[in-house]
């Protein structure tokens, strides 16, 4: 299962990865308009092409919603009661824009399961607007629907881990150029992250003023690293005067090593020397 936020085109990703055994779950904006499954083909005496899309499903207009295929209610510890409603084979109406601009042939109809999640409250008893999720899996069961939105909520916890790996452990700092080197560096960071979690009982809690105090067995890796002395120590201050044993500079510049490239000159043509003005004639004597 691959979870993504609303900034990613989950429909396009589902179409590109349709040959792989993966399920894509992505949040969609609350003002979207999707389409229901096309109705069964019925003979029309007037003829014409059969419809490709069904009626509109407007997120902001409940009167356009049919009866949900699946409804589940779950009691959570952080958000109270969570109610989910799911509709099967809901798809967007694609156009030749954005990531579908270079698509060859007729645009496909990428169907999936649309889920509306509503919880009682957020942290600190804040009001919680509904969250809309689209999954690339069709024919989902109630267990599949619950697993999809629960996995999406877990994404927020993983974002802190990725941010810690990038900003603190330097995951993307080396800018490695080969996949093998990137894999080795990733495994080194995984080992370092594991060591920080194992070193919780040995570290002191050096927390920032805005961080909440906690017990040693629940310290996050960043605070363990801060309190265990794993960072590089500060270099001693350099003396104000030069080392007495250092050679005395003699004032001659160091020799330069040739790079093997010919010296280049400026492409600007040199200006021709101006002709010298003739000397002024001597003053006439009157």
Per-residue pLDDT, 282: 46
Rounded to an integer, what distance in angstroms lies between the CA atom of residue 40 and that of residue 51? Answer: 9
Residues 129 and 22 placed together within one structural domain of the fold: yes
Q: Tell me: the pLDDT tens digits for 181-224?
A: 999 999 999 999 999 999 998 888 888 898 888 888 888 898 88
**Is residue 160 a part of any domain in this protein?**
no
**Is residue 149 a part of any domain in this protein?**
no
**Is residue 269 a part of any domain in this protein?**
no
Per-residue pLDDT, 88: 96
Residues 61 and 124 placed together within one structural domain of the fold: yes
Residues 72 and 15 placed together within one structural domain of the fold: yes
**Is residue 22 a part of any domain in this protein?**
yes
Rounded to an integer, what distance in angstroms lies between the CA atom of residue 10 and that of residue 134? Answer: 8
- How far from 42 is each of 39, 170, 208, 227, CA to CA, in Å? 8, 61, 68, 72
**Is residue 161 a part of any domain in this protein?**
no
Residues in the chain where the model's pLDDT stays below 50: 280-286
Per-residue pLDDT, 233: 63
Residues 122 and 54 placed together within one structural domain of the fold: yes
Strands annotated E in 42-163: 56-58, 70-75, 81-90, 112-119, 131-135
**Is residue 102 a part of any domain in this protein?**
yes
Q: What's the domain count of the chain?
A: 2
**Is residue 112 a part of any domain in this protein?**
yes
Residues 8 and 132 placed together within one structural domain of the fold: yes
Residues 197 and 120 placed together within one structural domain of the fold: no
Per-residue pLDDT, 7: 87
Residues 11 and 75 placed together within one structural domain of the fold: yes
Residues 98 and 197 placed together within one structural domain of the fold: no
Q: pTM value? A: 0.67
Of the residues 110, 140, 170, which one is the last residue of a structural domain?
A: 140
Mean pLDDT over the full length of the chain? 84
Residues 110 and 220 placed together within one structural domain of the fold: no
Helix, strand, coil percentages, rounded to 5, for the chain: 25, 15, 60
Instruction: Provide the residue range defining the domain that includes 124.
Output: 2-140
Residues 19 and 135 placed together within one structural domain of the fold: yes
Residues 57 and 131 placed together within one structural domain of the fold: yes
Q: Tell me: the pLDDT tens digits for 52-76?
A: 889 999 999 999 999 999 999 999 9
Per-residue pLDDT, 196: 92
Per-residue pLDDT, 237: 73
Rounded to an integer, what distance in angstroms lies between the CA atom of residue 13 and that of residue 82? Answer: 28
Per-residue pLDDT, 272: 57
**Is residue 165 a part of any domain in this protein?**
no
Residues 219 and 133 placed together within one structural domain of the fold: no
């Amino acid at each position: 299962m691959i979870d993504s936020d609303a900034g990613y085109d989950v429909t396009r990703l589902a179409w590109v990865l349709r040959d792989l055994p993966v399920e894509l779950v992505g949040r969609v904006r609350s003002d979207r308009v999707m389409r229901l499954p096309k109705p069964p083909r019925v003979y029309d005496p007037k003829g014409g092409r059969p419809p490709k899309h069904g009626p509109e499903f407007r997120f902001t207009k409940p009167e356009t919603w049919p009866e949900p295929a699946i409804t589940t209610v779950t009691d959570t510890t952080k958000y109270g009661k969570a109610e989910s409603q799911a509709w099967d084979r809901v798809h967007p109406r694609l156009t030749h824009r954005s990531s579908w601009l270079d698509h060859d042939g007729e645009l496909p109809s990428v169907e999936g399961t649309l889920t509306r999640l509503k919880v009682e409250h957020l942290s600190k008893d804040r009001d919680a607007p509904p969250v809309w999720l689209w999954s690339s899996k069709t024919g989902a069961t109630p267990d599949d629907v619950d697993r999809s939105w629960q996995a999406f909520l877990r994404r927020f916890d993983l974002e802190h881990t990725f941010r810690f790996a990038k900003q603190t452990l330097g995951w993307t700092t080396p800018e490695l150029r080969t996949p093998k080197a990137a894999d080795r560096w990733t495994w080194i960071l995984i080992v370092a992250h594991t060591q920080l979690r194992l070193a919780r009982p040995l570290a002191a809690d050096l927390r920032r003023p805005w961080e909440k105090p906690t017990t040693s067995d629940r310290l996050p890796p960043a605070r363990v690293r801060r309190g265990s002395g794993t960072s590089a120590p500060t270099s001693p201050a350099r003396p104000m005067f030069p080392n007495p044993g250092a050679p005395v500079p003699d004032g001659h510049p160091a020799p330069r090593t040739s790079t093997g490239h010919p010296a280049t000159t400026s492409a600007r043509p040199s200006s021709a020397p101006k002709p010298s003005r003739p000397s002024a004639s001597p003053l006439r004597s009157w």
